[in-house]
Amino acid sequence: MFLIVLALPLFALSIGDAVPGLTESQITVLKNGGLLKGESFEDDVKVFIPVGSIGMQHLLEALEKPESFTVVSLTFLPYPDAMRTMTEEERQVSIFNTMRSISTQEGITYISHRAGNKPKELIEKSWYLETPKSRSSMPDPVSTSVPPTAEYIVYQKDSSFGSNIYRHRYTTSATEIFVNVVNLETMRVFGIFKAVDKEQLAIAMATTQVDEGLLLVAMATIEGRDPQVKVLGISVDLPSSFTRRTTALGEWFADQLNKQ
């Protein structure tokens, strides 16, 4: 199957232009700092993705996968003051460097249901590796331009799935930066029970420049698993778990962007 991706226009877009499937009330939610989200087995999640975007291509491919589900969220981030006077290209460089500053993910929190809906540390350790077999950490990369594609290997230890190695693959256009994160190892709950097989999880994040800020899309696709799994008699809601995870990553990105 071939997918045709239409480039987003280079002139400034409104939120409604970029994501025409949204209602006026949903656009208002975004402008007020709210989050829109959906699950592929219950909702038409395509309405949350900018038309003709790299993110839309990724979602359409994900929805074709058998025995899988995808959770999607969309937020709007007004440009920080420092970015308002930047050119489109300068903003892309700033966004690209911010998205890759994964060492700053250490210590980010999420809302844990098991902890009584209280904040809990999500990511304990986070750094780049030269190869999946490497042991030594590497500093966050910093660039002066944005390439069409880029790929990195990342180690992270988190409170849900322990230590894992991931591949971060970036694809970009004039107004969009898309990163797809795939697990290169089997992910386990409590370090013992298999939750997600190798390369069966894809967490994606995409930014699209519009006239007043950034549209931030976060997606997680899990293959070969039912949405609900049981571990030691405890029911684990995977869609909810990964929605909380992508929400935490979105909040981390927004915080880093606002520090500029």
For residue 178, how many other CB atoms are within 10 A of its CB? 24
Domain extent at residue 173: 15-258
| Model confidence, pTM | 0.88
Tell me if 136 is assigned to some domain. yes
Best CA proximity match to 247, nearest among 65, 31, 52, 72 = 72
- Cα dihedral 163, 184, 203, 113 in deg (nearest 10): -30
CATH of the domain at 224: 3.30.530.20
CA distance 151 to 244: 25
In a structure prediction context, what are the per-residue pLDDT tens digits for the chain, which is 260 residues long? 333 344 444 446 899 999 999 999 999 999 999 999 998 888 899 999 999 999 999 999 999 988 888 999 999 999 999 999 999 999 999 999 999 999 999 999 987 766 677 888 999 999 999 999 998 999 999 999 999 999 999 999 988 788 999 999 999 999 999 999 999 998 877 666 777 788 888 899 999 999 989 999 999 888 866 555 555 555 556 667 777 888 899 999 999 998 87
Tell me if 153 is assigned to some domain. yes
- Quick one: DSSP state of residue 7? P
Tell me if 143 is assigned to some domain. yes
Tell me if 4 is assigned to some domain. no
Best CA proximity match to 232, nearest among 195, 199, 196 = 195
Tokens of 236: 């684990």
Total structural domains within the chain: 1
- Is residue 45 within 8 A of residue 12, CB to CB? The reply is no
Tell me if 130 is assigned to some domain. yes
pLDDT at 242: 76
pLDDT at 160: 79
Tell me if 234 is assigned to some domain. yes
Tell me if 99 is assigned to some domain. yes
Tell me if 8 is assigned to some domain. no
CA distance 129 to 134: 6
CA distance 169 to 202: 11
CA distance 251 to 218: 11
